[in-house]
Homo-oligomer: A and B are copies of this chain.
Amino acid sequence: MASKPSIPKGTRDFSPAEVSKRNYIISIMRHHFEKFGYQPIETPSFENSDTLMGKYGEEGDRLIFKILNSGDYLNDVRGKIMHTGKVIIHFFEILRGLKFIIKMNVTNYDDTSRELIMTFKEFNDFEKEILLKYLIEKKHEIINFYSNLDSDDEGFGLDEMNFNREIFAPFYQIYIDNLEVLNSNKTTKLISEKALRYDLTVPFARYVVQHQSEIEFPFKRYQIQPVWRADRPQKGRFREFYQCDADVVGSKSLWQEVELVQLYDSVFAELGLNGVTIKINNRKVLSGIAEVIGASDKLIDFTVALDKLDKIGEDGVKKEMIEKGISETALEKVQPLFNFTGTIQEKLAKLSTLLDSSEDGKKGIEELQFICENVAKLGLKQAVLDLDVTLARGLNYYTGAIFEVSAPKEVAMGSIGGGGRYDDLTGIFGLKDMSGVGISFGLDRIYLVLEELNLFPETVTTATKVMFLNFGESQTFEAMQAITTLRNKNIKSEMYPDAAKIDKQFKHAERRGIPFVVKEISGSSFTLKDIQTGEQVQLDLEALIEKLS
């Protein structure tokens, strides 16, 4: 292999520093998930295709990574293709037979056609049926065509194909059908029965249904594992990335929503991330708004436009809404949403008036009221909870609360988490009436935010604390002896393995961010050098341990 090896587009190698920082975030999440009573599960990287396909819409299905069956996975496909080739050859043979039948003035055309077709074992029953039906239906045209051929005429094979498309049609159709199969889901099923998971929610639903008899409901689980999407790779979008989800299934209690807001706050507070906004909305409030504007199919257009209020102003938003087909009357009705500021309580009051006629809307407001009031009474550490009626994520599946978390304003990062309630989480796998609610943390974005705000503690590093120089075999044993003791005291330590030039060894320590070097061992005395300050001290082993602990 001459060229330097590389990794697939949209995937990443993580260096030691990156792994350490990612693990730092993950361990904080784990800690808080567990403190809140969520317990870890893990599911296989690949699921049966049946489990995943059809759960994420057409676009989602397309983005699922499919795994080739092992063994001779093309066996069935190759069979199809061989068949196609033979169909073409048989086509000529049948035409030749037909011509013979007609030229010989065979009287029982139908029976002879049937016999003819049946001799071609390559055709399957369905194909034989089509062909025979066709030969009998078109009996008169076919007889006419061949009867009118001059006996000298080369009216055979290609002539029909080229000049008589009509007679050719059914054969051609079988040929095309056989090829078609190669562009359909059927082929994918033939050669692939497993696929990499696309998210953690569908595998979780599958897990719950599969293990329902072992699970104590309500079941609070968290899951931190990679997922894969065949998205077009672009900046900040990867084909392999971690999802970090906490969900509870089997309880409709709104305390879960309260708790999930606290959980977000708790994790971000420990990460030192101040200024996070947890935005909340409710699917039923959105339904209410849709009722009021009189067009539930315009709901997304409405919320997208409304979300631009800050940027393009009320007139701009209204113009866009009207362009999208929302009536002026509707806009008048929802006028309060164009001045939707104030505290959550004030916003809820405005919504109450606005959605007074909608049962759904009122239920949504009631839910929001419970969640926001209790969150406020219990208090948050650092995050701010805000009601945002433009929040419409997961509109297709969420049925109650909808969450989204914004990074602090000083970082241009958008959402670093999201979630919501879906009343029928496990219905797709046959377990009815299981309400679920959960949230997700965006590991990659949180990483970038912490990096940008310089919030990773220095202690995050996995770097070695002290490196012993190597002066050749004479002193290496003493060094390894000391190192063994240091390691027993949990001090990350190592010896430069080869007796390289001292300069090179120092550079190695420096480049790796190792803060201390033991320069010399003389009897029971160790010369320790602080790489950054250049300071040197002579210590015995006990003092060395104390210094480095």
**Is the CB–CB distance between A74 and B16 below 8 Å?**
no
Q: Are B70 and A41 in contact (CB under 8 A)?
A: no
Q: In the assembled complex, how far is the CB of residue A523 from the closest CB belonging to chain B, in whole angstroms?
A: 18
Which A residues from 477 to 500 make CB contacts under 8 A with B?
Answer: 477, 480-481, 484, 487, 490-498
Chain A residues numbered 1-58 whose CB sits less than 8 Å from any CB in chain B? 1-2, 4-8, 11-16, 18-20, 23, 31, 34-37, 39-48, 50-51
**Interface code A245-269, partner B: CB below 8 Å = 1, 0 otherwise?**
0001001110110110010001000
| Chain B residue at smallest Cβ distance from A258 | B480
Q: Say yes or no for A411: interface residue by CB 8 A criterion.
A: no
A90 to chain B, nearest CB (A): 10
Main secondary structure of the interface of A (DSSP, over half): mixed
One of A61-69, A328-336, A540-548 at the interface: A61-69
Docked complex Cα distance between A211 and B18 (Å): 14
* Min CB gap A334→B, angstroms: 33
Confirm or deny: A318 has a beta carbon within 8 angstroms of a beta carbon on chain B.
no
Is A221 an interface residue when CB atoms closer than 8 A count as contact?
yes
User: How many residues from A make CB contacts under 8 Å with B?
Assistant: 126
- Do residues A68 and B70 form an inter-chain contact, with CB atoms below 8 A? no
- A109 close to chain B: CB less than 8 A: no
Known A70-B63, A81-B179: A48·B7 in contact at CB below 8 Å: yes
Cross-chain contact A5 with B429 (CB below 8 angstroms): yes
CB distance from A214 to the nearest CB of B (A): 7
Q: Tell me how far the C-beta of A464 lies from the nearest C-beta in chain B, rounded to whole angstroms.
A: 5
A221 B16 Cβ-Cβ under 8 A: yes
Cβ contact within 8 Å between B7 and A43: yes
Once the chains bind, are A463 and B175 in contact (CB under 8 Å)? no
Nearest-Cβ distance from residue A466 to partner chain B, whole angstroms: 10
- What would 19 A/B residue contacts be, using CB atoms closer than 8 Å? A4-B210, A7-B206, A7-B210, A14-B42, A16-B39, A35-B487, A36-B494, A37-B467, A39-B462, A46-B65, A68-B188, A68-B191, A74-B182, A81-B84, A92-B157, A218-B496, A253-B498, A255-B497, A374-B480
Known contacts A74-B187, A156-B157; 16 further A-B pairs (Cβ under 8 A): A13-B44, A13-B207, A15-B41, A35-B487, A35-B492, A37-B464, A37-B467, A67-B67, A68-B68, A68-B188, A78-B179, A81-B81, A93-B158, A96-B157, A152-B152, A220-B494
B-binding residues in A (CB < 8 A): 1-2, 4-8, 11-16, 18-20, 23, 31, 34-37, 39-48, 50-51, 62-63, 65-68, 70-72, 74, 77-78, 81-82, 84-85, 88-89, 92-93, 96, 151-152, 154, 156-158, 161, 175, 179, 182-183, 187-188, 191-194, 196, 206-207, 209-211, 214, 216, 218, 220-221, 226, 228, 230, 240, 248, 251-253, 255-256, 258-259, 262, 266, 374, 377-379, 428-430, 462-464, 467, 476-477, 480-481, 484, 487, 490-498, 508, 511-512
